[in-house]
Structure formats: structure tokens, C-alpha cells
Amino acid sequence: MKDEVTREERVTNLKGLGCSRKRVEDARFTQGKGNYVDDINLPGMLTGDFVRSPYAHARIKSINTDAAMALDGVIAVLTAKDLEPLGLHWMPTLAGDKQMVLADGKVLFQGQEVAFVVAKDRYIASDAVELVEVDYEELPVIVDPFKSMQSDVVLREDLDPKAPGAHGPRKHHNHIFTWEVGDEDGTNAVIDDADIVAEESMYYHRTHPCPLEPCGAVASMDKVNGKLTLWGTFQAPHVVRTVASLLSGIEEHNIRVVSPDIGGGFGNKVGVYPGYVCSIVASIVTGVPVKWVEDRMENLMSTAFARDYWMKGKISATKEGKITGLHCHVTADHGAFDACADPTKFPAGFMNICTGSYDIPIAYLGVDGVYTNKAPGGVSYRCSFRVTEAVYFIERMIEVLAIEMNMDAAELRRINFIKKEQFPYNSALGWEYDSGDYHTAWDKALKAVDYEGLRKEQAERVAAFKAGETRSIMGIGLSFFTEIVGAGPVKNCDILGMGMFDSCEIRIHPTGSAVARLGTISQGQGHATTFAQILASEIGISADSITIEEGDTDTAPYGLGTYGSRSTPVAGAAAAMVGRKIRAKAQMIAAYLLEVHDDDVEFDVDRFVVKGAPERFKTMSEIAYAAYNQAIPGLEPGLEAVSYYDPPNMTYPFGAYVCVMDIDVDTGVPTINRFCALDDCGTRINPMVIEGQVHGGLTEALAVALGQEIAYDDMGNCKTGTLMDFFLPTAWEVPNYETDFTVTPSPHHPIGAKGVGESPHVGGVPCFSNAVQEAFRPFGNRHTNMPHDHWRIWKTANDLGMHD
């Protein structure tokens, strides 16, 4: 048979690696046909809603549920007393602490869950919430972690103040842990003897991932077959199944956890929330399905926050600008319970990536976690574990050092970058960076923006301002970041003891199409598009003929889920490896069909061909058909495989960003004129999806840098509980992004991919912030804290005497 299709066309039809294939998910998302948790409606389903604390710290003297129970349509009102016999009034957190499911004697933050009303519908539940009478006795409120460490007020009366916590000894009754990495004495000695030392304190404010869809769950306990089904907004459904089994005593095979379509996660949906537990208990108690879906205010005020790190740094350098040492101390405000979502051995996540992209010979990091009367959480909002904090810290320290040395910050970075030939590079704080080519990326990015020209323009603008010709100044924000993603090697990364591998299982159908299932779960990242492309290139079946399924623990192989940009580095690797298993069997089948030795056929795009005789071939469709329908000696029928992948190392995506900004010093209004983002995420699976991820990550970076925060007053009242005050940028606030790339494949990943979803956020926050701060550098600014909203920018100008 003559092959009418050229090889080039076969490659195009495959839609494999490198193809800007349109996202297959978008057909349903753009037509409102997604299926989210709140779309799940089951016969007889009840709805739960929380009574929440108006106080940040109070003792609960009594709870009277009589009036609520008397309301027509109210089925139950659960309090801690009802959960206590089940041992579920408290639950373990991912960070080794425990958290109240429903207030047990006291409340520790505003918005804390006090009682769970179960009613026939959402409206009745909300009416009943208002009828639950809670008698509170207010207690002193602590919202400042430094004051907390000095205060006689004991926030966590349930903990023995002298007993060690999950991460070692505690220094004070409101202290959670101390985590230290590196050589403190050695670092101090280097800094003490250095030519140049720059010091700075900075606050990375509390913010929130704020996905468009808030958190929710539907629990359905089938008392006939003893099976619990739980639909929910879970970034890690398999972990939820295991935890639910351990907590409830229901055997794991009798629990099915389903993450349906998820409307954004960004770390918010990693944690386990009281609403999940209460909906399960309520379904068990009532025998019918129970839905709980939080509203926007509940999402902002009670589910996991991000950041809230007070960082103090010292950086030393030679007169030539070569960095010699770095010291970092963090006071980490974890709120009322330590519910951070980090791998077990890393209570401050991967904050020890804070040496950044620089060859720093010695360093020390110390982190003290502290309780306050604020909501628990501490998730990694669109970044790997605490990496945004780390990169912000080092990128600010570099800027401050440049100011100290009266040096150009771009040049200071260039002098200190880890060199290409130093990879794999072992950092002073214990990481092995797998690969990088920072100088090439940096030079390319600076050339793209005409860095020298920008500096010249800026100098003219400064002169014009000083001459009274303009009230607008210009900032050039730089950042260079190294992410650490793809957690992770099981040897040092686990969540609640579960190793952080991931998985892919594939079943090729007789006609040559396939279904593949993974242990991850897309929340908008486009897994159904990109994982099919990885498999297409490995197996030779068009991506259009591969269905990707995730999120149903009854069908998908076990995996640790999607967060920390781990899906491509870990599950994507599993996909490549499972593809290779399929291909190995397909090779044997092809050789049999072509009546040659296995070694005499080779893979070519979508087929195996006889070496030296490309007109003799078997397509993957033919091979798949034969796998099921032809008795092949020595081979089992069928064509399917599963792969569990434990990565040997993290991957280390990096990038070079430049932001050019104008600032109106009189109103504090910034205008972003250019934002150029160069990303190196290794092998690029789908350039269009990457572009979309970069745009999204940059937009959330803009949000955080320029205004998005969770703020509290002294009484612990959350001041930013609605989208009126919590800044969620729209198309209006977002500039035109210019994107670029270099490709430095990961040497240990099967296809060299590194993950990209979070890079733009990690690199974007310091870039936007540096642009604001750098604009004021010629006028004497050294450091000001984010968020750079109008009034804080105005205040910087005001403090520098620019309104005089």
C-alpha cells in the first residue's frame, strides 16, 4: 500500500510535543458546560452552611440551636459536641498540627466555623444560621506575630506549652516551630568580615489565591453498600481519600473521591477544610447526600491564605560585587492553626531556595512559625512551596545590595549568576539545581527591551522631574528567578507520609484511540490537552484520539495531585514512561506482523517501520488492532500499561523578567508600559498553553504586587472579605505582556520538561514590585513593602519629600 500522507503531515496530525494545539477543555468551559461541584445535584440532597465567629478570639460560653432547629426545613445543627464522640471535632492539618473542625470551647479567628446547619436548601440553611445563638466572651486579640511571641495570652490552650511541636521544640506558647538550614556561624563570620553588607527587613503581606470557584463538597454516604462518595474541590483527590479513610475508619476501597471540573485552585484547594468533614459527617448522620459550598466571603476569610512572611536579610559582597554570604530570618505568621500545605519535612516549604539564581558560597535560613488570631493556611499561591517568598526575598536583597554598592542591578545579577558549566549546582542551602543557562536568558531579555536605552530614558525622566517638568517618574523592574518544582523525590518529599510520586495509566483501544488516566487533577492548566500531546509523541497516536481523565479515585491511578507545578515534572514524566512501555510492546507486535526481528523495526512518528525499508510499516492503529485480535506467540493480548514515577530530583525552571512602569507621584497611580517575560521551562509541550499560563501567572503577580491583600484591623476583623476590597485584576488592569523563551531541558526528566504554571507568578511579583521601588531609587528609596496600591505608592513619594 502506498502511503499518501507525507511524513510532515503525519507529524502535524499527531499533535504531539511542540504543537500549539487548542485546549480541548475550552469547548465546554467557554460554553458554560463545565461540571463543577456546585453543579452536582443528587436526589434528596441537603445543604450545609456554617455559623461563623464574628470575633477573632473569644470563648464560647454557650450555643443555643433551638430556634434554628425549630425552623421548617432544618434537619440538623452540628456543633463540636456532636462531632466529639466521632473524634472529628478536631482534624489533623497537613503541617502536623491539628485544627478545630467546629469551635471547641473557643474561637481563634474571625470567620471560624462554629456550627454546621443542615437544611433542605441553601436558603433555609442561611436563615437558620442567623437563628443559632452563640454566647461569646471576647478575649484579647493578637494579629502581630512579634507581639504574639511576647504575649502572655495563650492562643492554643489545647497544646502543652512545653511539649515540642511537629517540627521540634517550641520557644513560647504561641510559637509553632523553628526551622534552620545552612551554617549560621559560618555565614555570620563571612558577613562580619565582608567589604560590603546590605541589610533589609521586608514584609511579604498576607494574600489569598481566590480562585473563581470557591471551595465545596458533596458527600453521599450510601448506607446500603457502605460506600462514601465525595465530590469536592480537591487539588489532591487521592490524598483526600486516604485521609478520609484514616479519619473516618471507612476502608479506603469504600471511599470514592471525585474532583470534577475545578474552577481554579492556585493552592487554595490543597488543604482539608471543616466544610468537607462536616458534609461527610452530615451525610453519614442523615443518610442522604449533603452539599456544602462556601461563598466568596467565606473563601476569602476562612480558607487558606498565602504568604504573611516577615523576612529579615543580610547579604555580603566583595568590592567587585561578588556575593559572599546570605543570612535570612523569617517570622512566619501561620494564623490560628498551622495548616500550611508543605511536604512534611519542610515546615517553611522550599524557602531554602532563597539563594536564588546566584552562586552564593555560604548561607543560613531560620524560620520561626507563630500563631496569631488570623485564619489558618499558608498555602503556596501559584508557586511551589514558599518559593514566591524566597524569590521575592533574594530579588529584593539584590536590589538593596545594588543600592548599597551604587551599582546597576542588572550587572550585579550577571556577576553572581550560577554559570552554565556549574550545573548540576549544589546550593549552600542544600538543593541540587538540575540545569540552567542564566546568562543567556538574562542577556536575551535585556536586549529585547533595550536595557541601555531604558536606563538612558530613565535618567532623562529623573532630570525632567527634578527640573519640575513632569510629575511622572519611570521605574525599570528587573527580576531573575529560579523555581524549584516537581515535588518530589519520595526520599525527601511526602504529604502526611504519602510519598510524592505520580502516575499515569493508559489503555489503547483496538481501533487505535486511547484513554489515559493520571493521579493529578487539572484546575484549568489544560492537562487534557498537554498530557495527550506527551503521549502522542511517545506512542504515535494523535493527541485528538487520546482522552485524558483525572480526579476520580475509583478509576485514576494513585497520585499526589496538582500543585507546586508538579503535574508536568512528575505525572508528565509518568505519561512519557507509560508511553514507552506501550511502545516497547508495540515494537514486538510490529516486528511479528512484519515478520522481522524486534530490533529490525524502528519507531517513526505514528508507526513502526522496517529499518532501511520505510515502505514496510505498521501504524499504531494496526498494531493496536492486532494486540487485541491476533494471537501473537509469547505476548499477552491487549495494549495497556501503568507507570508510577518517582522523580530523581526537582526541576528548576527559570526566567528573566523586565517591567517598565510610569508612576504618577501625586496620585500614586502606576501605569505599566511594558512587561517582558522570558521563561525557560525546558522542553515546551504546547507553546500556546505555556503562553496562557504565563499570562495568568503574571496577572496574579500583578495583583499581589499592586494591591491584593488580606488585611486585618487590630481587633482581628478581616477588612478585605469581598471583591470590592480584595483586588482581583480584570482585563482592564492588565498590560500587554510580551513573552519569550529559551530552552534548557531538564536532564533527568524523560522529555526534559520542567513545569511552567507558577514561574510567572514567582518571577512576576518581584518584577512588578521592583519596578515600583526602582522608580523611587533615584530619589532615595531603598525598600518599601508591598502591596503597592495607590496610597502606599503615594506614601513612598510623600516620605521622600516629593510632594513638598
Partner 1 sequence: MIPAAFEYHRPSDIAGALSVLAEHGDEARVLAGGHSLIPMMKLRMADVPHLIDLQDIADLKGITIDGDTVTLGAMTTQHELIADEALFAACPIIREAALQIADPQVRYMGTIGGNVANGDPGNDMPGLMQCLDARFTLVGADGTRSVAARDFYESAYMTERDDEEILTQITFSATGAGYAYEKQKRKIGDYATAACAALITKDGDKVATAAIAMTNLSDIPVLSEAAAAALVGTSCDADAVKAAVAAALEDIDPTEDNRGPVAFKMHVAGIIISRAITRAWSGA
Which residues does the annotation mark as catalytic? 235, 382-383, 758
Verify binding: residue 335, partner 1, rule CB under 8 A. no
Half-sphere exposure of 637 (CA within 13 A, CB side): 8
Verify binding: residue 776, partner 1, rule CB under 8 A. no
Strand partners, 48: 118
The residue with cell 510524592 is 500
Verify binding: residue 790, partner 1, rule CB under 8 A. yes
Work out how close the CB of 719 gets to partner 1 at its nearest, in angstroms, rounded to a whole number.
Answer: 6
In the bound state with partner 1, the residue whose beta carbon lies nearer, of 599 and 804, is 804
119-133 core/surface letters (b: 16 or more CB in 10 A; e: else): beebebbebbbebbe
In angstroms, rounded to a whole number, what is the distance separating the alpha carbons of residues 287 and 289? 7
Work out how close the CB of 791 gets to partner 1 at its nearest, in angstroms, rounded to a whole number.
Answer: 3
**787 preceded by cis ω (within 30°)?**
yes
Q: With CB under 8 A as the contact rule, which of the stretches 55-63, 424-432, 521-529, 792-800 interacts with partner 1? A: 792-800
The DSSP result for 535-594, as a single string, is: HHHHH-S-GGGEEEEESBTTTSPP---S-TT-IIIIIIHHHHHHHHHHHHHHHHHHHHHH
In the bound state with partner 1, the residue whose beta carbon lies nearer, of 318 and 671, is 671
Per DSSP bridges, beta strands 494-495 and 498-499 are antiparallel
Q: With CB under 8 A as the contact rule, which of the stretches 50-58, 239-247, 520-528, 791-799 interacts with partner 1? A: 791-799
Position among 727, 737, 741, 768 found at the interface with partner 1 (CB under 8 A): 727
Verify binding: residue 38, partner 1, rule CB under 8 A. no
Verify binding: residue 130, partner 1, rule CB under 8 A. yes
In angstroms, rounded to a whole number, what is the distance separating the alpha carbons of residues 447 and 428? 31
In the bound state with partner 1, the residue whose beta carbon lies nearer, of 214 and 764, is 214
Work out how close the CB of 713 gets to partner 1 at its nearest, in angstroms, rounded to a whole number.
Answer: 11
Burial label for 54, CB within 10 Å (0-12, 13-18, 19+), is: middle
Verify binding: residue 803, partner 1, rule CB under 8 A. yes
Work out how close the CB of 37 gets to partner 1 at its nearest, in angstroms, rounded to a whole number.
Answer: 16
Verify binding: residue 297, partner 1, rule CB under 8 A. yes
In angstroms, rounded to a whole number, what is the distance separating the alpha carbons of residues 795 and 792? 5
Per DSSP bridges, beta strands 654-664 and 472-482 are antiparallel
What is the grid cell recorded at 490? 519520595
x/- letters, 687..726, toward partner 1 (CB under 8 A): --------------------x---x-------xx--xxx-
Verify binding: residue 41, partner 1, rule CB under 8 A. no
What is the grid cell recorded at 679? 521563561
Q: With CB under 8 A as the contact rule, which of the stretches 118-126, 160-168, 327-335, 641-649 interacts with partner 1? A: 118-126
Verify binding: residue 733, partner 1, rule CB under 8 A. yes
Verify binding: residue 84, partner 1, rule CB under 8 A. no
780-792 core/surface letters (b: 16 or more CB in 10 A; e: else): ebebbbbbbbeeb
In the bound state with partner 1, the residue whose beta carbon lies nearer, of 447 and 803, is 803
Range 654-683, binding partner 1 (CB under 8 A): 666-669
Per rule CB under 8 A, count of chain residues that contact partner 1: 33
In the bound state with partner 1, the residue whose beta carbon lies nearer, of 122 and 312, is 122
Quote the Cα angle for 299-114-87, to 5°.
Answer: 105
Q: With CB under 8 A as the contact rule, which of the stretches 52-60, 437-445, 593-601, 727-735 interacts with partner 1? A: 727-735
Work out how close the CB of 71 gets to partner 1 at its nearest, in angstroms, rounded to a whole number.
Answer: 11
Verify binding: residue 295, partner 1, rule CB under 8 A. yes
- Of 31, 74, 32, 67, which Cα lies nearest the Cα of 49? 74
Q: Distances from the Cα of 492 to the Cαs of 248, 353, 503, 755, in angstroms? A: 28, 15, 18, 20
Q: Give contact residues for partner 1 (rule: CB under 8 A).
A: 49, 122-123, 125-127, 130, 295-297, 666-669, 707, 711, 719-720, 723-725, 727, 729-730, 732-733, 789-791, 794-795, 798, 803
